[in-house]
Amino acid sequence: MRKRITMLLSLMFVTSALLTACGGNNNNTGNNEEATATNSGTAATNAPATEEPANTEPFEMTIRHTQVGADKQKRLAILEDVVGKVQEEVPGLTFKLDGVDSDVNRKEKLRGEMAAGNPPEIFDLFGSPDSKIYAKESKLLDLTPILEELGIKDKFSNLDPFTYEGKIYGLPIGGSGEGFFYNKEYYASKGWKAPATFAELEQQLADIKADGKVPLAGASKAGWVPLMLANHLWSRYAGPDVTAKFATGEAKWSDPNVVEGFAKYKEWVDNGYFKKGELGFEYAEYTTQFTSGEAILMYDGTWKSSVFKAGQSGEGLIGKVGFFNIPAVDGGAGDQTALMRDVNNGYGFSASAGEDERQLAAVKSFIKNMYNEEMQLRGLVEDGVLPAMKLDQSVLDANITDDLMKEIVAVLNNSASSFPAFDSLVQADVTTEISNIQIQKLIGGQTTPEKMGEELQKIQEEANAAVE
Amino acid sequence: MNKALRNPLVFILFVLPALALFLIFFIYPIFSSIYYSLTSWNGVSDTVKMTGLKNYEKALGDDRFWISVKNNGWFILFSVFIQVPLIVLFSLLIANVKKLKGLYKTAVFMPSIMSTAVIGILWGFIYEPNIGLFNKLLGLVGIEPVYWLSDERFAMLSILITNAWQWTGFYIVMVLAAILSIPGELDEAAAIDGATGFQRATRITLPLIVPIISVVIMLSIAGAMKAADIVIVMTKGGPAGSTEVMATYMIKYAITNFKYGYGNTIAVLIFVFTLIVTVVYQLLFNRRSERIEY
């Protein structure tokens, strides 16, 4: 008898455990259904009477964005405005905003979701190589027909990073260019102007150093930070198109011109032009070194201009910051005005969003409201992000009131050509090698420019062979 | 009732939920990791191509991987030879204080309830070359600033110190519990026989807490083998890969580069290495520590 009771009790325990789990689901469903009924009731009351009433049943879509942190508030405000407009246009739609750090989203969260097959409907996406890998696996929505329908397919200045086999799978939110930000107040106190020649630039660096100041901000804990300048230098010496030739085997990292670029960077490190101890500093400290007035120059992307606006960390330097491109180097190859520019970050949409008519309508509405002249201008004026779409020069001139932004646009206009950063041109293995090992070794004095070139070339050849 | 509990079916029923969880969250992932470690899967694709032992050949032939294995080794050595003696020393000291024992216990335990990210930032300030505490102290005695996190010679040591600071308190509380559970009569008897405090600590207390020290060492080894967060927060594996550990190597050279097959290979290798180290430890040392009964 006792045995039976125990058996019975055990059975009850196990079944109740199972039922609790199932019951939870049922409850949720019940609640959802109830909520749905209530909401649709409200929506139905508010909806205007039409002949064929649109489906106003509530549905939710998620937008994974990376506008987290104080410096990205302006960009977040733009997104929120777009979200509001789309929600008005698509009856029943509620967007859930999911903010995640850019690197975490790119390298961990989105990849995991892609592998599991449940990415958000709209998400922050990197063009090359990410979007191509996802597109190849049919994880992304082909935007070509939508862009054609909206008539904006030819309005983007460059969609290459998001294009795979002739189809467009993502849209860049903006572009960026890289150059030197400089402290105008300091320059004025010395009676200097932005350098017109490379020799002048080097003289200024030496003079700043002699003056007891830090010539160049330095924060190389993450390899991509010093590589912005290094990339521009090797492209000056070896030509703007050299990086694109590494993957095809037409050029080598060990070519003398490329090595000359590394050598120049090393020379500046050895001369003490960068903030000492840079290998231990985060990117955030890079900006602080400049905004605090400790460093006089900072090589960075145009996105940094948003810091020099009211309420931001560089508020104290409003009107005191200038921007210039690296001057031509002696004996350099190719266009010496070429600027490093990228349009590699934007939005992508999950393939599943294309299967649901209402979700597809929401995607169209999102693209329409996000990718237009007004929003691109807002991005430029409020957030310092260069437009990804072609805008009329007169419109740009009329809207840019900020001195720094005017200088940035002037630099863009004065450069005859542009080239993308290395990480969108070479294989991931090469990017890992140069940004995690080689550039830090060069800065730390554990390698020579020649050896760095050779070691990179070795990895490049392995990566090239793997592709074949 | 007792009779019923002797029925294996009852046991099976009770064990079933836990067993299911164990299978789903432990056994299945291990086997799926082993499977993917033999492929060139990119983490996204539905098609998975088998590549045999190629990934293992690549990992075992890569100098960078061995640097990361060596750094995990440093973690273990630092834990066993520096951290554990300190843990025992502080536990003995705290066990013998008469006043404010609770305060000391709380104070030493505090770091282990803080998130590694916070600790990384906190120690980042301490190691800061210009205004950091360490360099300020060194400056007082006229020593030039040390670039703790950016100099290859000091970066690993800096991480080890921070890691030890984070976990020492946790283990101290464990050892302390063992010390405090030793019956007071033993100590009193020794004291009456004229044993000094030092003698009582080394001859009475220490031998009695050997089993718990053994557990602490075991946990330290397991923790050292899977260390990653502290490295990511403090140096990102740099400068120039000098502080890379196996887990950060896996993230950097596999996961980031869409090489999930290779990533799984590294994960399996971490598992195997940890297994080897713990088995060796068990065989060599742990067997000797017998169960203590008072």
Q: With 50 as the cut, is the pLDDT of residue A29 above it? A: no
What is the DSSP code (8-state) at residue A160?
Answer: G
Q: With 80 as the cut, is the pLDDT of residue B286 above it? A: no
Report strand pairing: A295-301 vs A339-342: unpaired
pLDDT tier at B258 (50, 70, 90 boundaries)?
Answer: confident
pLDDT tier at A24 (50, 70, 90 boundaries)?
Answer: very low
pLDDT of residue A25: 39
Q: What is the pLDDT of residues B42-100, one digit of tens each?
A: 888 888 889 989 999 999 999 999 999 999 999 999 999 999 999 999 999 998 888 88
More confident residue, B105 or A450: A450
Q: With 50 as the cut, is the pLDDT of residue A178 above it? A: yes
d(CA B176, CA B91): 5
Instruction: Report angle CA B110, B111, B113 to the nearest 5 degrees.
Output: 70
Q: What is the pLDDT of residues A108-167, one digit of tens each?
A: 889 889 888 899 999 999 988 889 889 998 999 999 999 999 999 989 988 989 999 999
d(CA B38, CA B48): 10
In the A/B pair of chains, how many CB contacts fall below 8 A?
Answer: 110
Furthest CA-CA distance within chain A: 102
Q: What is the pTM of this model?
A: 0.80
Contact residues, chain B, for A136 at CB < 8 Å? 45
pLDDT tier at A213 (50, 70, 90 boundaries)?
Answer: very high
- What is the mean predicted confidence (pLDDT) over A68-90? 90
Q: What is the pLDDT of residues B124-156, one digit of tens each?
A: 999 998 889 999 999 999 888 889 998 889 999
More confident residue, A383 or A139: A139
pLDDT of residue A452: 97
Which A residues in the span 411-450 are in contact with B, Cβ-Cβ below 8 Å? 428-429, 432, 436-438, 440-441, 443-444, 446
Is residue B234 within 8 A of residue B123, CB to CB? The reply is yes
ipTM surpassing 0.95, yes or no?
Answer: no
Which of A68-72, A298-302, B93-97, B281-285 is least confident? A68-72
Residue A142 C-alpha, separation from nearest chain B C-alpha, in angstroms = 17
Is residue A231 within 8 A of residue A244, CB to CB? The reply is no
- Which tokens go with A454? 């050779």
Residue B160 C-alpha, separation from nearest chain A C-alpha, in angstroms = 16
B237 at A interface, C-beta within 8 A: yes
Helix (H, G, I), strand (E, B) or coil at A141: coil
Q: With 60 as the cut, is the pLDDT of residue A51 above it? A: no
Residue B210 C-alpha, separation from nearest chain A C-alpha, in angstroms = 40
What amino acid is encoded at A112 in this protein? G
Write the residue in B4, B42, B235 that is nearest to A6 by C-beta.
Answer: B4
pLDDT of residue A50: 45
Residue B185 C-alpha, separation from nearest chain A C-alpha, in angstroms = 45
Element (H, E) at B25: none
More confident residue, A468 or A222: A222
d(CA B266, CA B246): 7
Is residue B215 within 8 A of residue B174, CB to CB? The reply is yes
Furthest CA-CA distance within chain B: 78
Q: What is the 3-state secondary structure (H, E, C) of A288-317?
A: HHHHCCCEEEEEEEHHHHHHHCCCCCCHHH
Is residue B147 within 8 A of residue B130, CB to CB? The reply is no
Q: With 50 as the cut, is the pLDDT of residue A409 above it? A: yes
pLDDT tier at A312 (50, 70, 90 boundaries)?
Answer: confident
**Closest CA relative to residue B232, chosen from B124, B110, B81:** B124
B147 at A interface, C-beta within 8 A: yes
**Mean pLDDT, chain B, integer:** 89
Torsion of CA A144, A148, A151, A157, to 10 degrees: 30
pLDDT of residue A37: 38
Element (H, E) at B231: helix B229-234
Residue A170 bridge partners (DSSP): A348
Q: With 90 as the cut, is the pLDDT of residue A198 above it? A: yes
pLDDT tier at B22 (50, 70, 90 boundaries)?
Answer: very high
- What is the mean predicted confidence (pLDDT) over A285-290? 92
Is residue A144 within 8 A of residue A168, CB to CB? The reply is yes
Residues in contact with A172: Cβ distance below 8 Å, sequence separation at least 6, in sequence order: A127, A156, A158, A159, A161, A162, A343, A344, A345, A346, A388
d(CA A216, CA A208): 9
Which of A85-94, B194-203, B260-269 is least confident? B194-203
pLDDT tier at A398 (50, 70, 90 boundaries)?
Answer: confident
Q: What is the pLDDT of residues B105-125, one digit of tens each?
A: 889 899 989 999 999 989 999
Helix (H, G, I), strand (E, B) or coil at A251: coil
Ramachandran category for residue A152: left, alpha or beta (phi over 0 → left; psi -120 to 50 → alpha): alpha
Q: What is the pLDDT of residues B215-256, one digit of tens each?
A: 999 899 888 988 899 999 999 897 998 999 999 999 888 888
d(CA B172, CA B164): 12
Is residue A127 within 8 A of residue A93, CB to CB? The reply is no
Tokens 């070519």 identify what position? Answer: A255
- Measure CA of the first residue to CA of the last residue in chain A; give whole Å: 74
Q: How many CA atoms lie within 13 A of B236 on its CB side?
A: 20
B240 at A interface, C-beta within 8 A: yes
More confident residue, A311 or A149: A149
Q: How many CA atoms lie within 13 A of A305 on its CB side?
A: 30
**Mean pLDDT, chain A, integer:** 86
pLDDT of residue A22: 44
Is residue A239 within 8 A of residue A333, CB to CB? The reply is yes
CB contact under 8 A, B241 and A221: no
pLDDT tier at A11 (50, 70, 90 boundaries)?
Answer: low
Q: What is the 3-state secondary structure (H, E, C) of B259-277?
A: CHHHHHHHHHHHHHHHHHH
Is residue B216 within 8 A of residue B281, CB to CB? The reply is no
- What is the mean predicted confidence (pLDDT) over A417-428? 89
